[in-house]
Copies of this chain bind each other. A is one copy, B any other.
């Protein structure tokens, strides 16, 4: 991991890359991070919903995710 000073630095460095987002509604959404703001609202493209075993449940395409529904965001290695 490159030097991270503030938590949002990780999201900045993940722009344009694939990330896994887990929501309070226990959903996992995988997609390419296009934008986020200080509320952690996010836009992903090529998004798909996955179950807990990592299998694709549904293609979503572009999606706006409300920041206060997000538990964690993990950039793909």
Contacts and interface: CB of A to CB of B under 8 A. Distances in A.
A29 B72 contact: yes
Of the four ranges (under 10, 10 to 19, 20 to 34, 35 or more), the interface on chain A belongs to 35 or more
Nearest to A1: B45
Contact of A8 (B40, B41, B60, B72): B41
Contacts of A65: 71-72
Contacts of A69: 24, 70-72
A57 to B, nearest CB: 9
Contacts of A64: 7-8, 10-11, 72-74
B11 A71 contact: no
13 contacts: A4-B35, A7-B41, A9-B35, A10-B35, A10-B63, A10-B64, A24-B71, A25-B71, A60-B72, A60-B74, A61-B74, A62-B74, A69-B70
